[in-house]
Amino acid sequence: MRLAFRPRDYNRGLKLALIGYGNVGRALARLLRQKRREFPFTVTGIHTLRHGTAIHPAGLPLQPAFGPRAASIEEFLEQTRADVAVELTTLNPVDGEPAISHIRAAFACGMHVATANKGPVAHAFADLCEEAARAGVGFRFESAVMDGAPVFNLWRHCLPAVRVLGFTGSLNSTSKVVIETMEQGGSFEDGMARARALGITEADGAFDVEGWDSAAKTAALANVLMDARTTPQKVSTRGITRLTPERVQAMARRGKTVRLISRGRRNGAAVSLRVRAEVLDRSDILASAPGTSNVILFHTDLMGTFGTVSIEPGVEQTAYGVFSDLVAFRTGSAS
Ligand SMILES: NC(=O)c1ccc[n+]([C@@H]2O[C@H](COP(=O)([O-])OP(=O)(O)OC[C@H]3O[C@@H](n4cnc5c(N)ncnc54)[C@H](OP(=O)(O)O)[C@@H]3O)[C@@H](O)[C@H]2O)c1
């Protein structure tokens, strides 16, 4: 039997308040516009750090005219009268702020929250889930770890009774671009410049190569899938900053490469977490996906080892992950 897609099942429009309107926020706005007939979301407010705030109850255009910045996040959220706050501000891997406060303010206003920001999931996942439940709203973060490729929704919907024993991932695109650039004869700085030009680095690119981005993703995965109640600081982390073109090229001549690998493993009641630059065979599944691709493998009790691969994801895929969270709020399947 063929199941027909019926747009009218999704006919409840939701109003959105975007906090942050950078690469991901703008890509999301474009996607919402592209899909507006089947999924009529309305962006009633956008709040930024330096560009100011824009609010319109009937909906904002892609290039809104920003006015003065709202005095507080609470004032902004109240003025938008939105159903969902979409948190897309810059990652702060040290303590997850101010994103965590933004999310709490949204819950206090009775709004669902979707975010692509891994900071809150890495630092305060359990508390935020409890607060969302108390407020009777949903909290979603599909894009926080794999740029929109299904990770958390996969576990939410497809794997009843399966227990995560551990995970292994190559999750940081910037470090891969830097390593590949050095293998091709460029310098570390050339690699960083290439990654920046691709728009894939964190606002502070040091977070990528020093391992903070991977540590935050590792903590987020462990918090959500293994109830680890951890933070990035508790992940044993070493980045790729000590790699040189000479070392990388010598390894390449032996058929080897380096990837910044995140590992999580249950040890009895504890969970051990680490991020390391690991030497891998070029044919290793964690090393063979091209360019900015990400790979995660889950080690489980009932499903053995399986994974998700995202080939050369871009900001459009990150926006799609957020969009999938918003659709879950529309259909009422997220709270
Ligand atoms: N880019 C990706 O491919 C990707 C993939 C997965 C996850 N993410 C995550 O998604 C989030 C957004 O990434 P992005 O690439 O869109 O970042 P971005 O281009 O640097 O944009 C960040 C936005 O947040 C705003 N902002 C920063 N601090 C703020 C504050 N305190 N209050 C209000 N607004 C604030 C900035 O305002 P101004 O415009 O005024 O500076 C800007 O609009 C990050 O947490 C990132 O880790 C990104």
CB 97 within 8 A of CB 73: no
- Provide CB contacts within 8 A for 228, sequence distance 6+: 219, 222, 264, 271, 273
Residue among 18, 19, 23 whose CB has most ligand 1 atoms within 8 A, to mutate: 23
Q: What is the 23 CA–ligand 1 centroid distance (Å)?
A: 7
- Report the C-alpha gap between 93 and 95 in whole angstroms: 6
- Report the C-alpha gap between 60 and 100 in whole angstroms: 25
- Provide CB contacts within 8 A for 12, sequence distance 6+: 330
Residue 207 has pLDDT above 80, yes or no: yes
Residue type, 82: A
What's the pLDDT tens digit per position in 113-171? Answer: 999 999 999 999 999 999 999 999 999 999 999 999 999 999 999 999 999 999 999 99
Residue 8 has what pLDDT? 36
**CB 25 near ligand 1, within 6 Å:** yes
Residue 1 has what pLDDT? 33
Beta-bridge partner residues of 42: 15
Residue among 18, 19, 21, 24 whose CB has most ligand 1 atoms within 8 A, to mutate: 24
Q: Is 279 in a helix, a strand, or coil?
A: strand
Residue 175 has what pLDDT? 95
pTM of the model: 0.94
Residue 180 has what pLDDT? 95
Residue 12 has what pLDDT? 59
Residue 160 has what pLDDT? 96
Residue 193 has what pLDDT? 95
Segment 162-191 shows an average pLDDT of 96
At residue 256, φ and ψ (nearest 5 deg) are -110, 160
What's the pLDDT tens digit per position in 2-49? Answer: 333 334 344 458 999 999 999 999 999 999 999 999 999 999 999 999
Residue 335 has what pLDDT? 56
Q: What is the 20 CA–ligand 1 centroid distance (Å)?
A: 5
Q: What's the token pair of residue 8?
A: 């009218």
Residue 291 has what pLDDT? 83
CB 167 within 8 A of CB 264: yes
Nearest CA to ligand 1 atom 8: 116
